[in-house]
Amino acid sequence: MLRSRIPIFFVWVVKKYTSTCYFSVVVLVFCVAHFIGDKQAPKVTFKKPIGSVSVSGHKFVGCPMPCGVQITRMEHINVLSSNVEYLASRDATIMGSRNGHAPIFLWYTLNRKGYKGFQKEVQKCLRNAYYLKDRLRDAGISAMLNELSSTVVFERPIDEDFVRRWQLACQGNIAHVVVMPSVTIEKLDDFVNELVEKRSTWYQDEKVRPPCIAADIGSQNCSCDLHK
């Protein structure tokens, strides 16, 4: 299993204005605790036209229960806030309640690992993601890895038993692996070796060929018969 936890992600809302109205575009950047300590990484700041930033606590950070932290502008908080008579206070939570244990777990993890600890985990994930991408490409398998990301996208295996065994996230002709701190080089080697072995049987008949996924990952990353 490669997808043991999904990394921290940031969500920001960018307002695009037209002559008559504006609309919000939600951008998911699936990466980043990974931006810790990387000078090339984009900075997430409310000086930009963003509406909110959401950070999952139960994914990359590893809190044992689903939780997260959301930072947003006061104008959005006021929309959700309401006066609660029996509390004699104003409630700004989405569900009207919150888990008191989650902040303790988050505080403990942040203090135990520290900035340097998270930075080392991030660097390990990025190195291993590049290793996986290179091994797939060397084996003639279409694969793509964006800069500053630990999510490797590649051609979807045609054997659903293989997909379930490795718990791959698939859509259409593509699958992806999120390389987390718990994923070792040995596990990546086992995955690639098994995939290569299976592909030799899946595509031994010339009538069945690997899919072209150039539309999904770009022709420069596609290793199908047309883009080799």
Q: Catalytic residue positions?
A: 149
Residue type, 59: K
Q: Which two tokens stand for residue 182?
A: 């718990």
Give me the torsion for CA of 148, 191, 135, 147, rounded to 10°: -10
Helices (H), the chain: 74-80, 101-138, 160-165, 185-202, 214-217
d(CA 210, CA 202): 9
Secondary structure (DSSP) of 180-226: -TT--HHHHHHHHHHHHHHHHHHTSSTTS-PPP-HHHH-GGG--STT
Q: Which two tokens stand for residue 87?
A: 């509390």
